Structure 1
């Protein structure tokens, strides 16, 4: 596991862009953290590095936003509203097995539907500084371990 401390939203976006430069078709990125921790900010950076110029917004009310104009399609999911179930009927595995990159916010609510390999990124707010975040990378599977190793360089 690797952790990074950032002190500004722009740094969170830059880190997202670094991950975006390394992702491949079928990659699954899980973003976990409290409200306002920077999950969507991270996704904006990732989208920008894929060449997606559209404004990336949290898909809280739509569950999934699809962006197809970049190097790879981006499937941005917010499954917060599935805390009480219902995810089984959404066909999320079609996204996970697809040709794009899936980014899932609040993944703990669909844990039982996730494949065994993914990159979990946890964003935590610092208690003493408004914009400071601890961002922790937890790779599951050799592909994601290589991705995190490349990030370290």
Structure 2
């Protein structure tokens, strides 16, 4: 079942992301979907804060493709914006969750195939700093989504 949220600031979006990060089981992959400027990187800042990592470390990894925050067991942040599906195949994304950390993938629609067990987050700009977030799928620490964020 999907959860829907309307946020009215970057801080509110970060709060939803932080709450989600605290609920996810180790090794979970989060697929981020949204137009350019929708707030995917801002979401990741809140997400890393939710697991105790300084959100100031987060920048859009467009040119480095993969950033690691917090070392092993931390958060891997992937940005597929400038890659084609064939290039994505060579990244070894399936191996990233093996260290027990969490993985956030921006521009997940560029993946060549779905990632089983992943959480999908769709972010859409509703105007006036308002964003709609739709979150669905994937495992949590309790095995179910539990109460709303």
CA-to-aligned-CA distance 1:29-81 (integer Å, 9 cap, x gap): 011100111111111011112111242111111000001259x4100000111
- Tell me what 1:21 maps to: 22
Which of the numbers 115, 134, 143 marks the counterpart of 2:132?
134
Comparing both chains, which one has the higher relative contact order based on Cα–Cα distances under 8 Å and sequence gaps of 6 or more? 2
Query: CA contact under 8 A between 2:31 and 2:106: conserved in structure 1?
Result: yes
Runs of 5+ in structure 2 lacking a partner? Answer: none
TM-score normalised to structure 1 length: 0.86
Question: Once the 2 structures are TM-superposed, how far is the Cα of residue 88 of structure 1 from its aligned partner?
Answer: 1.2
Question: Once the 2 structures are TM-superposed, how far is the Cα of residue 148 of structure 1 from its aligned partner?
Answer: 6.8
Structure with the higher fraction of residues in helix conformation: 1
TM-score normalised to structure 2 length: 0.88
Superposed counterparts of 1:65-144, under 5 Å: 65-68=67-70, 72-83=73-84, 85-112=86-113, 114-126=114-126, 129-140=127-138, 143=139
Number of residue pairs the alignment of both structures matches: 147
Query: CA contact under 8 A between 2:78 and 2:104: conserved in structure 1?
Result: yes
**Matches of 2:144 and 2:124 in 1, distance apart?**
18
Does 2:37 correspond to 1:36?
A: yes
Root mean square deviation, CA, Å? 2.2
- Tell me what 2:146 maps to: 150
The runs of 4+ residues in structure 1 deviating greater than 4 Å are none
Runs of 5+ in structure 1 lacking a partner? Answer: none
**Matches of 2:147 and 2:67 in 1, distance apart?**
26
